Amino acid sequence: MRSRPLKVALLGCGVVGSEVARIMTTHADDLAARIGAPVELAGVAVRRPDKVRGGVPAELITTDATALVKRGDIDVVVEVIGGIEPARSLITTAFEHGASVVSANKALLAQDGATLYAAADQHGQDLYYEAAVAGAIPLIRPLRESLAGDKINRVMGIVNGTTNFILDKMDTSGAGYSEALDEATALGYAEADPTADVEGFDAAAKAAILAGIAFHTRVRLDDVYREGMTEVTAADFASAKQMGCTIKLLAICERAADGGSVTARVHPAMIPLSHPLASVREAYNAVFVEAEAAGRLMFYGPGAGGSPTASAVLGDLVAVCRNRLNEATGPGESAYTRLPVSPMGEVVTRYHISLDVADKPGVLAQVATVFAEHGVSIDTVRQQGRQDGDGEASLVVVTHRAPDAALSGTVEALRKLDTVRGVASIMRVEGE
Amino acid sequence: MRSRPLKVALLGCGVVGSEVARIMTTHADDLAARIGAPVELAGVAVRRPDKVRGGVPAELITTDATALVKRGDIDVVVEVIGGIEPARSLITTAFEHGASVVSANKALLAQDGATLYAAADQHGQDLYYEAAVAGAIPLIRPLRESLAGDKINRVMGIVNGTTNFILDKMDTSGAGYSEALDEATALGYAEADPTADVEGFDAAAKAAILAGIAFHTRVRLDDVYREGMTEVTAADFASAKQMGCTIKLLAICERAADGGSVTARVHPAMIPLSHPLASVREAYNAVFVEAEAAGRLMFYGPGAGGSPTASAVLGDLVAVCRNRLNEATGPGESAYTRLPVSPMGEVVTRYHISLDVADKPGVLAQVATVFAEHGVSIDTVRQQGRQDGDGEASLVVVTHRAPDAALSGTVEALRKLDTVRGVASIMRVEGE
Ligand SMILES: NC(=O)c1ccc[n+]([C@@H]2O[C@H](COP(=O)([O-])OP(=O)(O)OC[C@H]3O[C@@H](n4cnc5c(N)ncnc54)[C@H](OP(=O)(O)O)[C@@H]3O)[C@@H](O)[C@H]2O)c1
Ligand SMILES: NC(=O)c1ccc[n+]([C@@H]2O[C@H](COP(=O)([O-])OP(=O)(O)OC[C@H]3O[C@@H](n4cnc5c(N)ncnc54)[C@H](OP(=O)(O)O)[C@@H]3O)[C@@H](O)[C@H]2O)c1
């Protein structure tokens, strides 16, 4: 074992950073044995220097993160500040000054991963970010390395714990969205401003990262179609149950059938109860991967939280330190396929549509004609008269697989029919 | 990209090897792009040279595996022959002649992994074997690398597809063991001689490998307690159902509560239906990992089959080739904790015991006294008179957690009681 320690600069000492610091201290011997050299916490950058940080020696604390990464003797920078700036500048500065980087920053990686990869590559440094997607669940490494000899066709996952907690509550208790959100907030599963989670921004960032890795191409946050889950109602859950399904907010990355392009999207979807993702409860995350040779794999675990996320950060830290002792680097960006990202209109899937229609003969024929005209083939229709006998009925149509654009066209035309009083809900059906 | 190819020697071209050869040919461009250099199949060793092997050029076939690994220009040897010899000698010879090795050979790794690791280390070569445990499921790499910064306390898994298929059939159809085995054989899930699977030898080899990696110590096949699943009956499944459980053949590797030793074992066990492993159907595998910081993770997928296993082999091949281009090696054996393996008697778990007893007053008190005398605390007892009124009743006892030795002592003493006519079954209860 080498006696000279590898020096680590920790940027950020919040939920994740404080756990990283704690484990680095309490498990120093194990880390040293696994790396082949001791690791030393050389400095910790924060915003508020006077906050008491249990276990972190006061002399390590600094508010000058830039000076810390420029010191020149730092081997690895662990970035757990979050957000775009100053994180991005700090990471590129770290590379320029001969340090490798471990980051948990999904927002930055999704928005500007290419810049970071290029900087790492230019300076011969590592950029690892297992913690950025699905917290503690090993996912980036299995996709980048274990499946490096395979062809991944599809990645479909529950990658946001907050929304899964809310949807699970709605499913099990029959609660509405806002009631379930209140419970999630009270229990600390949702932030005061839950927008990033419930509107699907967080999941979309992860989808961009996953799609890029899975398909060896470049996918940016803007390439990801995104629909949040704030419109999901108790009635949707009732419809899902009737179909033997539940509703999950899914991040789905797919290779097109002809292999010439990829898609990435985030939206709520019905999935059959028999699908492994259907039984992912509470704030857990799980990601389902379909590969040509490996078949169907699933990875399951806690998607967030200080200590699970720190576990992923530390796994990367060990890998990066080992690479350093080997004077080597791990796999960098792999975007050689240059597959374009197709728009949502080209995604092919199934749909569950609830319509409020006039309760009179001929309506079903009219509706069916609209679907046929748009090339959307119907799988099943369920028609039911309303209890209140006000001359309205509801019609539930489940389609076969069709392009999203064809479905949008169908819905637009349906809205124009006199006999269609309203489109109560449209939900994609996945996982069959 | 380097233009000179890396040369691969394939030892064995059976179920797994033929798929490795096929994918290396059909996906050559992808592999080259991911590695940074082309890979070339330099030779394929088999036993029967005249067998037609679609897609493998006849001039590559040889029956002299030793000469192939001694050629001197081989970068990576892929060993998919199986068994102890000649696989072991071929692997060590490969290291001596400057090649790294990818193997799927669980039997050899469990029996003599230390020798292989030492040889790899001595010659500065890589030894990778993701395919040896749970086929296509990325597991070795997540345990060795992703969780390298964490402390794993428990690995519990379904690591044999044949036995899971049989148990799943028994559970869903109420079939007995031999009927379910027949179906598994007819469908190709069980081999003509199913001993290695149904007696737990295959799972025990995997348990040894997993325990060694998880706890950074050396665990050999002989250290693993092993009980097969041939004695599991339809009545056991009925008892399990009454407890809200199902029965699985589990491989369980645990760190003792005091951290000073580890255990590894394979046996059938009841697990609650709510446990993620309970819903693993058919021949699928899944492994549940509990780590200090990461929490509870699960990895799920196909545990065997030519193409899933080839996926794992090729992932390793890409990693080993990349290491080679970097003039580096990946993580070798990590056995620094030197934790001893405790015998089965020290394993602490819960038990479900069915007794045939005399149907008369005082029996329960007698039985309860025996448990108490051995320090085994009872959780629940269910007593039921037999339908046929022959003076016998059955008594089902579920215990709290107790050492296996205490339970064995209890059972021995119970058998000596006049009022106990027989011990119908003893089954461990896990996953709570
Ligand atoms: N929390 C999770 O469960 C989780 C899961 C997966 C990934 N992540 C990712 O991990 C990263 C960190 O998340 P977190 O939850 O730990 O955030 P957090 O609790 O808000 O901590 C952020 C830390 O960064 C420090 N900081 C902020 N601006 C700074 C600046 N300009 N210079 C120096 N330090 C600065 C803060 O200092 P003060 O302490 O002085 O305020 C704080 O210590 C984010 O990228 C997040 O997306 C988090
Ligand atoms: N099959 C699976 O699903 C699976 C899953 C996980 C791991 N594995 C492991 O993968 C390995 C291979 O399994 P498999 O199912 O592919 O076995 P297999 O179908 O029996 O193939 C074995 C191959 O090795 C060749 N061979 C045997 N003895 C040889 C010798 N002395 N010299 C040269 N070649 C020899 C055979 O040649 P011939 O073709 O001429 O007979 C055959 O091509 C085993 O370690 C197994 O445990 C298999």
CA distances to A12, A67, A77, A268 from A49, in Å:
11, 15, 19, 42
Q: What is the pTM of this model?
A: 0.96
Going by pLDDT thresholds of 50, 70 and 90, the confidence category of residue A205 is very high
Mean per-residue pLDDT, A148-174: 97
B interface test, pick of A25, A285, A311 with most B CB neighbours within 10 Å: A311
What is the pLDDT, as a whole number, of residue B387?
Answer: 59
Rounded to the nearest angstrom, the distance between the alpha carbon of B36 and the centre of ligand 1 is 36
Phi, psi of B326 (to 5 degrees): -80, 0
The answer to whether the beta carbons of residues B330 and A36 sit under 8 Å apart is no
Residues B258 and B271 in one domain: yes
Produce one character per residue of A40-51: b if its CB has 16 or more CB atoms within 10 Å, e if not. bbbbbbbeeeee
Residues A52 and A151 in one domain: no
Instruction: Report the nearest atom of ligand 1 relative to the CA of A82.
Output: 45
Does the C-beta of A135 come closer than 6 Å to ligand 1?
yes
Interchain contact, A302 vs B315, CB within 8 Å: no
| DSSP assignment string, A150-187 | S-EEEEEEE--HHHHHHHHHHHHH---HHHHHHHHHHT
Inform me whether the pLDDT recorded for A388 exceeds 70. no
Q: Kindly list the catalytic residues of B.
A: 206
> Is the residue at A374 inside a domain?
yes
> Is the residue at B235 inside a domain?
yes
- As a whole number of angstroms, the distance between CA B287 and CA A314 comes to 22
B358: helix, strand or coil: strand
> Is the residue at A338 inside a domain?
no
Classify the C-alpha dihedral B303-B308-B310-B312 as positive or negative.
negative
Residues B262 and B367 in one domain: no
Residues A207 and A97 in one domain: no
Interchain contact, A300 vs B305, CB within 8 Å: no
The answer to whether the beta carbons of residues A295 and B161 sit under 8 Å apart is no
B272, B303, B334: which is the final residue of a domain?
B303
Phi, psi of A24 (to 5 degrees): -60, -35
> Is the residue at A333 inside a domain?
no
A interface test, pick of B128, B150, B299 with most A CB neighbours within 10 Å: B150
**Residue among B201, B309, B316 to mutate when testing ligand 2 (max atoms within 8 A of CB):** B309
Nearest to B150 among A151, A311, A328 (CB): A311
Residues B166 and B252 in one domain: yes
Interchain contact, B23 vs A149, CB within 8 Å: yes
Q: Kindly list the catalytic residues of A.
A: 206
What CATH number does the domain containing A254 carry? 3.30.360.10
What is the pLDDT, as a whole number, of residue B361?
Answer: 85
Phi, psi of A98 (to 5 degrees): 80, 20
What is the pLDDT, as a whole number, of residue A387?
Answer: 58
- As a whole number of angstroms, the distance between CA A118 and CA A116 comes to 5
Ligand nearest to the CA of B209: 2
Rounded to the nearest angstrom, the distance between the alpha carbon of A310 and the centre of ligand 1 is 12
Residues B152 and B121 in one domain: no
CA atoms within 13 A on the CB side of A271: 23
Residues B121 and B205 in one domain: no
> Is the residue at B75 inside a domain?
yes
B325, B356, B383: which is the final residue of a domain?
B325
- As a whole number of angstroms, the distance between CA B259 and CA A279 comes to 33
Residues A154 and A15 in one domain: no
The answer to whether the beta carbons of residues A284 and A303 sit under 8 Å apart is yes
Does the C-beta of A103 come closer than 6 Å to ligand 1?
no
Distance of residue A175 Cα from the nearest chain B Cα, in angstroms: 22
Interchain contact, A142 vs B147, CB within 8 Å: no
CA distances to A175, A236, A237, A281 from A171, in Å:
8, 10, 6, 10
Residues of B in contact with A320 (CB under 8 A): none
Inform me whether the pLDDT recorded for A114 exceeds 70. yes
Percent of chain A scoring above 90 in pLDDT: 92
Residues A283 and A242 in one domain: yes
Domain count, chain A: 3
Q: How many residue pairs from chains A and B have C-beta atoms closer than 8 A?
A: 193
Is residue B59 classed exposed, middle or buried when 0-12, 13-18 and 19+ CB atoms within 10 A define those classes?
A: exposed
What is the pLDDT, as a whole number, of residue A3?
Answer: 86
B73 CB neighbour count, 10 Å cutoff: 10
The answer to whether the beta carbons of residues B123 and A287 sit under 8 Å apart is no
> Is the residue at A335 inside a domain?
no
**Residue among A10, A15, A93, A201 to mutate when testing ligand 1 (max atoms within 8 A of CB):** A15
Does the C-beta of B46 come closer than 6 Å to ligand 2?
yes
Please give the structure tokens belonging to residue B382. 């269910």
In terms of pLDDT, which residue wins out, B167 or A385?
A: B167
Residues A275-319 pLDDT 10s: 989 999 999 999 999 999 999 999 999 999 999 999 999 999 999
CB contact set of B212 (below 8 Å; sequence gap of 6+): B113, B218, B219, B333, B335
CA distances to A30, A182, A343, A409, A428 from A404, in Å:
51, 33, 9, 9, 9
Does the C-beta of B20 come closer than 6 Å to ligand 2?
no
Give the residue numbers spanning the domain of B18.
Answer: 6-135+307-325
- As a whole number of angstroms, the distance between CA A21 and CA A31 comes to 13
Question: How would you write the pLDDT of chain B (432 residues) with one tens digit per residue?
Answer: 888 999 999 999 999 999 999 999 999 999 999 999 999 999 999 999 999 888 899 999 999 999 999 999 999 999 999 999 999 999 999 999 999 999 999 999 999 999 999 999 999 999 999 999 999 999 999 999 999 999 999 999 999 999 999 999 999 999 999 999 999 999 999 999 999 999 999 999 999 999 999 999 999 999 999 999 999 999 999 999 999 999 999 999 999 999 999 999 999 999 999 898 999 999 999 999 999 999 999 999 999 999 999 999 999 999 999 999 999 999 999 999 999 999 999 999 999 999 999 988 889 999 999 999 999 999 999 987 665 667 889 999 999 999 999 999 999 999 999 999 999 999 999 998
Inform me whether the pLDDT recorded for A398 exceeds 80. yes
Residues B146 and B198 in one domain: yes
Does the C-beta of A46 come closer than 6 Å to ligand 1?
yes
Rounded to the nearest angstrom, the distance between the alpha carbon of B105 and the centre of ligand 2 is 9
Does the C-beta of B38 come closer than 6 Å to ligand 2?
no
B308, closest residue in chain A (CA to CA): A294
Going by pLDDT thresholds of 50, 70 and 90, the confidence category of residue A67 is very high
Which residue blocks in A243-332 are alpha helix, DSSP H? 306-325
Interchain contact, A300 vs B138, CB within 8 Å: no
Classify the C-alpha dihedral A40-A42-A47-A50 as positive or negative.
positive
What is the pLDDT, as a whole number, of residue B56?
Answer: 92
Is this prediction's ipTM beyond 0.85? yes
Interchain contact, A323 vs B323, CB within 8 Å: no
Residues A107 and A158 in one domain: no
Specify the DSSP element, H or E, that contains B19: helix B15-26
Residues A194 and A252 in one domain: yes
What is the pLDDT, as a whole number, of residue B16?
Answer: 97
What is the pLDDT, as a whole number, of residue B384?
Answer: 78
Instruction: List the Cα angle A337/A343/A348 in 5-degree steps.
Output: 95
Does the C-beta of B45 come closer than 6 Å to ligand 2?
yes
Going by pLDDT thresholds of 50, 70 and 90, the confidence category of residue A360 is confident
Please give the structure tokens belonging to residue B55. 């897609």
B201-215 helix and B106-122 helix, angle to the nearest 10 degrees:
40
What CATH number does the domain containing B71 carry? 3.40.50.720
Going by pLDDT thresholds of 50, 70 and 90, the confidence category of residue A1 is confident
> Is the residue at B337 inside a domain?
no
Q: What's the DSSP call for residue B86?
A: T
The answer to whether the beta carbons of residues A339 and A256 sit under 8 Å apart is no
A305, closest residue in chain B (CA to CA): B294
> Is the residue at B338 inside a domain?
no
Interchain contact, B302 vs A315, CB within 8 Å: no
